[in-house]
Amino acid sequence: MRRYVAGRIVQSLIVVFLVTAISFFLIRLAPGDAFSFVGDYTMSDAVRNRLRAQFGYDRPLIEQFARFLGNVVRGQLGYSHSMHRDVGSILAVALPRTLLLMGAALFTSFAIGIAVGAFQAVRRGSWLDRSASGILLLFYSIPDFWLALMALLAFAYWLPIFPSGGMVDQVVHDYMSFGGRVRDVIAHLILPSLTLAVLSAAGIARFQRAALLDVLPQDYVRTARAKGLGERTVVLKHALRNALLPVITLLGLSLPALVGGTFFVEKVFSWPGMGYIAANAIASRDYDLVTGTVIVGGIMVAVGSLLADLLYAAADPRLRAR
């Protein structure tokens, strides 16, 4: 077990390094100049060159990368010239917001997916099972940005149930009580996280259904019945506990896709997280900020996937012993 953990950590570090390298080089190699768009277009070349030198954009790429790596390790991700703050502080604020959204979405999608999948497995072959499969397949075919748009239109504009965007009510949030503020955030959170959740839930349900169908004919399920347990306990306690294990691996696997979905959803709902920041940074050619976002995003995925794998290893007693 310890060897496995150590191996996985090393693997994650390699991944983070690669993400850093790839994003750095790709972004720096892009045409155009950080300072072609910033500032006054009447800025003279001399001033432009001075700014370039100041931010180190005139050095050879490799040297820039080495310096960059050194900075990253020390926690400095550069300076955002479009937002006039250093990248670290921008992301430090944006990251928790994205994590909140992703966390809510992840939790909801797994809750829905596991419940539906388990239900389908128990009622295999019934019209409920088959129609659920059909509905899930349908959801699997809906683009995330479109669903987000439709959800926004439907539930924020036409039926004004939910707020139309942002994370908090811009006007009154700061004046609310603590409870009020929490409720405010939750109200803003529901639609975007539900949108994300519904799309992932489809895949999870399918997987959970298959996993539970594999477990139900197993001998220990029969033993549980022979002991006198009620059918519900047999399924929920004995069968599902085993059938959940493979679904946990989905946690790690679904993270990269979830990040992609979050990007679109944040944009549509104006949720001020990392995706939102990234979109603006790209528009203003803010290299450091874009690089920083992609790197932090990659780290998030690597850490999340590592945690998911560790969770799996901890959950399966057969692996704990190693």
Partner 1 sequence: MSDTLLQIENLHTFFYGESTVARAVDGVSFFVGAGETIGLVGESGCGKSVTALSVLRLVRPPGRIEPGSRILFEGRDLVTLDERQLRAVRGARIAMIFQEPMTALNPVFTVGEQIAEVVRIHSKTTRRDAWQRAVEMLQIVGIPAPAERAREYPHQLSGGMRQRVVIAMALVMNPALVIADEPTTALDVTIQAQILELLQQLQRRFGMSILLITHDLGVVAETVSRVLVMYGGEIVEEASVKTLFAEAHHPYTEGLLAAMPRMGESRDRLQTIPGTVPPPTRWPEGCRFHDRCPYSWERCTREHPPLYQIGGGHVSRCHLAEEPERRAHPHEPLVMQRSSRA
Partner 2 sequence: MQPPIPASAPAERLASSGVAPALTPVRAPEPPRPRRRLTGALWWSLALIALLCTIALLAPLLAPYAPNTQLDIIALKNQPPSLAHPFGTDQYSRDLLSRMLFGARISLSVALLAVLLSATVGTAYGLIAGYFGGRVDAVMMRLLDACLAIPRVLLLVAVLALWSPVPLGALIAIIGLTGWFEVSRLVRAEVLSVMQREYLLAARALGTPGFRIIWRHVLPNVLNPIIVAATLGVGNVIMLEAGLSYLGIGARAPAASWGSIFFDGSDAFQATWWIALFPGLAIIVTVLAFNVFGSALRDALDPHQLAGDRAR
Name residues contacting partner 2, limited to 90-149 (CB under 8 A): 121, 124, 137-138, 140-146, 149
Which of partner 1, partner 2, none interacts with 48 (beta carbon under 5 to 8 A by kind)? none
> Residues near 73 by Cβ (< 8 Å), separated by ≥ 6?
none
CA atoms within a 13 Å half-sphere pointing along the CA-CB vector of 109? 33
Cα 171 from Cα 259, distance rounded (Å): 29
Q: Give the number of residues in contact with partner 2, rule: CB under 8 A.
A: 85
Cα 173 from Cα 167, distance rounded (Å): 10
| Under 8 Å between Cβ of 208 and 236 | no
Three-state DSSP state, 265: helix
Shortest reach from residue 291's CB to partner 1, in Å: 44
* Binding status of residue 221 toward partner 2 by CB under 8 A: no
Q: Residue numbers of the site for partner 1 (CB under 8 A)?
A: 218-220, 222-231, 238, 241-242, 245, 315-318, 321
Name which of residues 22 to 61 contact partner 2 (CB under 8 A).
Answer: 22-23, 26-27, 30-32
Cα 304 from Cα 252, distance rounded (Å): 6
How many Cβ atoms from other residues are within 10 Å of residue 316's Cβ? 14
Which of partner 2, partner 1, none interacts with 15 (beta carbon under 5 to 8 A by kind)? partner 2
Name which of residues 240 to 259 contact partner 2 (CB under 8 A).
Answer: 242, 245-246, 249-250, 252-254, 256-259
Applying CB under 8 A, among 88, 192, 273, 298 the residue interacting with partner 2 is 298
Applying CB under 8 A, among 110, 119, 162, 207 the residue interacting with partner 2 is 207
